[in-house]
Structure 1
Amino acid sequence: MTRWPLPEPMRAALDEAAQAAAEGEVPIGAVVVKDGKVIASTHNQPRVMCDPTAHAEVLAIRAAAATLGQERLEGCDLWVSLEPCAMCAGAIVHARIARVYYAASDPKGGAVEHGGRIF
């Protein structure tokens, strides 16, 4: 279901996705929110960082954990422009993110509503 106007965290995730596209990356952005406040906002950077794990969700989780000074992100929400892949879904579970919101489903690589295909 689409809600208009978009919640601010989703708008920020989409802005991050646009930045990724401008950098020649796959256009995915992610934002972590705790208690209504954005604590991390980033986008895909595998090409820029020469790191295949530098997906927006993973980078946002890392930044949020650094901001909070802890590895568990209990009580945090993740807003992302595209349904997370299997790797990112695993990171979300390990970080103990409370809720995940995404703008578009990904039948090819999504692991939330489409199941996690590893190989």
Structure 2
Amino acid sequence: MNFIKIINFHKQWMNCAINQAKIALLKNEIPIGAIIIKNNKIISKGNNQTLITNNPIGHAEIIAIQKASIIQKNYKIPNAYMYITKEPCLMCLGAIINFKIKHIIFGSYNINNEFNKNNILHTYLLKKNITYTGGIYKNICDSLLKYFIKKNII
């Protein structure tokens, strides 16, 4: 697959994650969405639910992983892809690693992620045989987050 086809493939699935983020936004929740795909099929979807459930681990990635493990009747789904509108936090990254996700694709970069500053995250993921691609539909993902912040500060 050439580079353009790969990017278009990722954009197609990232649109589904963006739709999950929009669902969260409609609930006045932090607009982050995630989907898990395997064999070109969506296994599960999740959107942030931390505010509406008062649950600090109600992140989109955790919800998508929990749903996928129930649907697949397994706590590991090797060779799956996860599309997330924002780069995962360390808690979610731990769950992704334990779930054996093969490739992480995200939109917005997590500027608060201390591991990124010295490439520690990149090195660690490579050791775990996990690849990642960032910045897919970054502007759209960023704008959803900025809209939420502006709406809730003013």
After TM superposition, the score normalised by the length of structure 2 is: 0.67
Find the counterpart in structure 1 of residue 110 from structure 2: 106
Contact 1:31 1:78 in 2 (8 A): yes
Q: Secondary structure at the residue paired with 2:83?
A: strand
Helix, strand or coil at the partner of 2:56: coil
1:19 CA drift (Å): 1.1
Please give the alpha-carbon distance, in whole angstroms, between the structure 2 residues aligned to 1:4 and 1:61: 24
- Matched residues, percent identical? 26
Root mean square deviation, CA, Å? 2.2
Q: Is the 8 A contact 1:40 1:63 kept in 2?
A: yes
Question: Secondary structure of the equivalent of 1:16?
Answer: helix
Question: Given the two structures, how large is their TM-score scaled by the length of structure 1?
Answer: 0.86
| C-alpha separation in 1, matches of 2:91 and 2:114 | 10
Q: Helix, strand or coil: the match of 2:52?
A: helix
**Which residue does 2:31 correspond to in 1?**
27
Unmatched segments (≥5 aa) in structure 1: none
Aligned length: 115
CA distance in structure 2 between the partners assigned to 1:94 and 1:104 by the alignment: 23
Q: 86, 90, 105: which one pairs with 1:86?
A: 90
Q: Is 1:72 the equivalent of 2:63?
A: no
Q: 2:54, 2:43 → 1: CA distance? A: 25
Structure 2: unaligned runs, 5 residues or longer: 122-154
